Structure 1
Amino acid sequence: MRSGNNLDGKLAAWVRFLRKPAWTVLASLLLLLAGIAGASSHDNSVTDPAVVTAIPIIDFSITHQTMQGFGASDAFLDQPLTDAQADLYFTTTSGIGLSWLRLGIASNGGLNGGAWSDATKAAARGAQIWAAPWSAPAAWKDNNSELAGGHLCAAAGQTDGQGHTCGASHYDDWAIRLAAFAGLLQQNAGVPLYGISIQNEPDYVATYVSMLVSNNEFVNFINALGPKLAALNPKPVLIAGEYADWANLWGMTAAIEANPNALAYTGIYATHQYARTSTYQGSHPRPLWQSEMSSFEAFDPSIANGVTVAKWIHAAIVDGNVSVWHYWWLYNPYNETNEGLIGYPENRNASTKRFYTLGNFSKFVRPGWVRIEVSGQSNPNLFVSAYQGPLGKFAIVVINDSASNQSFVANIADARVSSLVPWATSAALDLAAQASIAVSANQFSAILPNGVTTFVGTNDLIFASGMQ
């Protein structure tokens, strides 16, 4: 860390602005003068302003994907949610405001873990429900097992190469069973099924319940399942993908988009984030979801882990262009890893910082909000994204992955904003509202702790113009 009164370093850093637009240079010089004036009183725990070579611009005029929220799964979980737990997960008043619950579908067409009441409680708090299968019945697969991959039987004579052979096609059988899950959910939980996935992790041969699906098999099965979903009222959205490795998604999207019928039946592409975050490739006619992510180290409730999770979310949204982001389990009853948002077997309600850093997004970036442009951010310790909602509402999410406090200054372009309320998650704070900060001449500044801070405000210029 450089000394707080290293004026030569400060001047050299700000000279890099000379090729920036005039208003940026002026703002930078003002910050420089303020830094010089206060050099003797700088707290050494705060990053030297000379390190910052650009001021981020929050630009409402440039928009990206429409967000549809955040979620997690109760698949395989062994106890139903209590009302208090449902409040914690799915409300924005006393919880983090998750908008999606992902259920599991068993090979017999029923619920795979969790409880029907979980869906009832989530929906009562504003969340929507979708579901995914892990495997078709063993007798309908070419490996004659629900474990270790294998493919759904497409025709008699299909073999897994290990001595197992299909006696007939079971595409129609499996499509009928999956479509019937919508009726079971309505009957047992009293809520509609928003969407149904074709397969969890179709590219991963797991020792547990799993099934493989090739690109061509996706197209063929979509054309079997699609008409059955279309006949339902309400019609569930067909979700295709959910790859363990994001990079495998693009072969499937190309195959679907080359088949007009399959594309017409498909409503959402989905992937998991375990292997990597893949930069969004090209332009696609369907929104992209990230439908499962966690990690498997020893249970870690720390802010360091919370920041890691927040950076996953940021990367998936900003680089991957996803509109929905899911953690894996709501809670973890089975082992002492980080697979649950909270908890481990001995304490299922054990709090974690990742729960709250997810909340820095999910509590404020609501379904229907739109990601807006952030440009000029150059501090390598900060990750910034911004979103606008109805009636001029907006949120700016800033992740500080440095162990030390960081100075943050940003311009809000083409806006009329008087103040912002920061909500901070840090080693000491759990998604806690802080004192409001003033916005002057469309610029604000703050000192950010290691963690995640969401700045919430209203753009009165948008509100006054009638834009929503």
Structure 2
Amino acid sequence: MKKINYLLYFLLSFMILSCQTKQDKLIVEVYETSASGNSLTKLENFSSDKNDENLIQVKLLPAQKRQTITGFGGSFTESSASLLNQLSKEKRDFIIEAYFGETGAKYSLTRTHMNSCDFSISQYSYAPVEGDKELKHFTIEEDKDDIIPMIKDAMKVSKDGFKILSSPWTASPWMKDNKKWVGGKLLPEYYDTWALFFSKYIDAYKAEGIDIWGFTVENEPLGNGNNWESMHYSPDEMTNFVQNHLGPKLEADGHKAKILGYDQNREHLNEWVDSQFKNEATSKYFDGTAIHWYASTYEVFPKELQYAHNKAPNKYLIQSEACVDSEIPKWQDDAWYWRKEATDWGWDWAPEKDKHLHPKYAPVNRYARDIIGCLNNYVDGWIDWNMVLDTKGGPNWFENWCVAPVIVDPAKDEVYLTPLYYTLSHFSKFIRPEAKVIGLENSDNELMVTAAQNPDGTIAIVAFNEGTKAKTLNLVLNEKNIAISIQGQAIQTIVVPN
């Protein structure tokens, strides 16, 4: 009888412990992209039984709410749109679905250029007639064959929709002091004309059924080495233009488009936000600040990002452009995107004092590290540059070759989704607009981790293991946990259901 009672006691205890263990286990889904071949692959066997001193502790702190996510995405350029026009309908639809559809990356925040830029087929302006101060001849006809159809196709497949941020590279040459596409400054006598230009652009796109969410005042106001379309402002000149011309004009015309200042590299961020947000009057029409990543192939500039956030904590801080520049894309060679062989403009051209900021790098590493670093330092939106380029890294009228997440060969009607596409998808697909970045504790300085809670209550955690050795992280939420293996050279999105 004692043996039977003991056996019953043992079975009951085992059942209770099993039930507790099941209750204490965190239920998650895991998606991985890796150098070993996973491409946003949903893993079935990711749980680890490891329980040693090397276990990385990642504790989620959802009560610590930080910035609200605006979105993630890429840019509609004339170069990308013209390439889509050269593909079969099947391949064009495949790319649009890959970026905007429910089965794809679900891009939510995008950018496009006003007038031409280097990633245009030629140089053009919506205000082509010299001396037309009232812009009676304003026209977006140039966009109707390529950019606008691409946007409309994206709108058709995007279930949740997406925001569009528009940026000018330059005003028409006749409005500038040097009368050239490149460099120079906007003449004060055309400040009101240039403000009107933005208003007419909103109206023209609205007539096409496209809403413009916001603007940056000027792409790269510090210039680009006098290479392609550009127009220069000092911080105070841009603040003056927004405070006294652009902001009042958009307000008078009933437009609610957001205005983001700066729009260039992060190392100069402090002086621009100091000017924009100097006082209530200068701040009134600025909704936030835009930044680029080209100051370094690895440095996120956290101090500058934190400074900008603290200067204007209720304003947007959006990464508006990034790409693998000064490189011809590697076709159907996934391994290259994980190797530290890429170089950027700074490898050859940076001043000697800045050379250390531009070492060789692996493109996947740069993207994953930068997006996670941005999210952990108050950036609320992250936009890639061209969505589609060809095997040469163009078309680009200046031959400023770059890499895009999707590469195409129009002559063969072939499409290559690079590892960069999947890297971006780890964020855009799972961290949705209006999500809140949340706090976390991470015991491993080498494993990069960020997390956000979506409006539907799900939590998306993105972890990046840059090293070659596998790691195991113990993910803890409230009283539940789960040990998850992440192989070397891998990025994972871990989704905790509501």
Structure 2, gaps ≥5 residues long: 1-47, 86-91, 116-124, 128-139, 339-362, 394-400
**CA spacing shift, 1:211–1:119, aligned 2, 3 Å:** same
Q: Is the 8 A contact 1:377 1:384 kept in 2?
A: no
1:131 to 128, 150, 166: 166
Aligned counterparts of 1:272 and 1:83: Cα–Cα separation in 2: 30
Q: Which amino acid aligns with 1:442?
A: K
Q: Is the 8 A contact 1:299 1:344 kept in 2?
A: no
% identical equivalent positions: 25
Q: Which amino acid aligns with 1:290?
A: Q
**CA spacing shift, 1:51–1:326, aligned 2, 3 Å:** farther
Alignment correspondent of 1:400: 465
2:64 to 56, 62, 65: 62
* Structure 1 residue 238 displacement after superposition: 1.2
Q: Which amino acid aligns with 1:95?
A: G
Alignment correspondent of 2:212: 193
Q: Is the 8 A contact 1:76 1:112 kept in 2?
A: no
1:339 to 403, 415, 421: 403
Alignment correspondent of 2:95: 85
Alignment correspondent of 2:181: 146
Aligned counterparts of 1:98 and 1:443: Cα–Cα separation in 2: 31
**CA spacing shift, 1:49–1:138, aligned 2, 3 Å:** farther
Alignment of 1:93-242 (within 5 A): 93-106=102-115, 107-108=125-126, 110=140, 114-124=146-156, 125=158, 126-147=161-182, 149-154=183-188, 169-188=189-208, 190-205=209-224, 206-222=226-242, 223-242=244-263
Aligned counterparts of 2:142 and 2:287: Cα–Cα separation in 1: 23
Alignment correspondent of 2:290: 270
Q: Which amino acid aligns with 1:89?
A: Y
Question: 1:179-229: per-residue Cα shift (whole Å, max 9, x none)?
Answer: 2110111112x0211112210011123311111111111111102011121
* Structure 1 residue 239 displacement after superposition: 1.7
1:256 to 273, 276, 279: 276
SS in structure 2 of the partner of residue 357 of structure 1: helix
**What's the Cα RMSD here?**
2.5
Alignment correspondent of 2:427: 361
Answer yes or no: is 1:293 the counterpart of 2:322. yes
**CA spacing shift, 1:132–1:153, aligned 2, 3 Å:** same
Q: Which amino acid aligns with 1:123?
A: M
Aligned counterparts of 2:94 and 2:163: Cα–Cα separation in 1: 18
Alignment of 1:416-427 (within 5 A): none
Aligned counterparts of 1:209 and 1:111: Cα–Cα separation in 2: 19
Aligned counterparts of 2:454 and 2:419: Cα–Cα separation in 1: 26
Q: Which amino acid aligns with 1:197?
A: T
Higher relative contact order (CA 8 A, sep 6+): 2
Aligned counterparts of 2:481 and 2:367: Cα–Cα separation in 1: 28
Alignment correspondent of 1:325: 382
TM-score, with normalisation over the residues of structure 2?
Answer: 0.69
Q: Is the 8 A contact 1:66 1:369 kept in 2?
A: yes
Aligned counterparts of 1:142 and 1:133: Cα–Cα separation in 2: 17
Alignment correspondent of 2:451: 386
Q: Is the 8 A contact 1:104 1:111 kept in 2?
A: no
Q: Which amino acid aligns with 1:454?
A: T
Aligned counterparts of 1:387 and 1:371: Cα–Cα separation in 2: 4
* Structure 1 residue 53 displacement after superposition: 7.2
Q: Which amino acid aligns with 2:214?
A: G
SS in structure 2 of the partner of residue 452 of structure 1: strand
Aligned counterparts of 1:289 and 1:267: Cα–Cα separation in 2: 11
Aligned counterparts of 1:79 and 1:185: Cα–Cα separation in 2: 22
**CA spacing shift, 1:311–1:234, aligned 2, 3 Å:** same
* Structure 1 residue 364 displacement after superposition: 0.6
Answer yes or no: is 1:412 the counterpart of 2:421. no
**CA spacing shift, 1:100–1:390, aligned 2, 3 Å:** closer
- Name the stretch that deviates more: 279-288 or 110-119: 110-119
* Structure 1 residue 391 displacement after superposition: 3.7
Answer yes or no: is 1:370 the counterpart of 2:436. yes
* Structure 1 residue 270 displacement after superposition: 0.6
Question: 1:311-345: per-residue Cα shift (whole Å, max 9, x none)?
Answer: 111112213x2100011110113734653121055
Q: Is the 8 A contact 1:311 1:399 kept in 2?
A: yes
SS in structure 2 of the partner of residue 235 of structure 1: coil
SS in structure 2 of the partner of residue 343 of structure 1: strand
SS in structure 1 of the partner of residue 218 of structure 2: coil
SS in structure 2 of the partner of residue 221 of structure 1: helix
SS in structure 2 of the partner of residue 332 of structure 1: strand
Alignment correspondent of 2:120: none
SS in structure 1 of the partner of residue 74 of structure 2: strand
**CA spacing shift, 1:354–1:176, aligned 2, 3 Å:** same
Question: 1:214-269: per-residue Cα shift (whole Å, max 9, x none)?
Answer: 111111110201112113445211121111x2122221211121243331111121
Aligned counterparts of 1:105 and 1:293: Cα–Cα separation in 2: 18
Aligned counterparts of 1:179 and 1:348: Cα–Cα separation in 2: 39
Aligned counterparts of 1:355 and 1:377: Cα–Cα separation in 2: 29
Aligned residues: 368
Q: Which amino acid aligns with 1:444?
A: I
* Structure 1 residue 122 displacement after superposition: 2.7
* Structure 1 residue 357 displacement after superposition: 1.1
**CA spacing shift, 1:111–1:452, aligned 2, 3 Å:** farther
Question: 1:53-94: per-residue Cα shift (whole Å, max 9, x none)?
Answer: 751211111111111110111223224573332211112x21
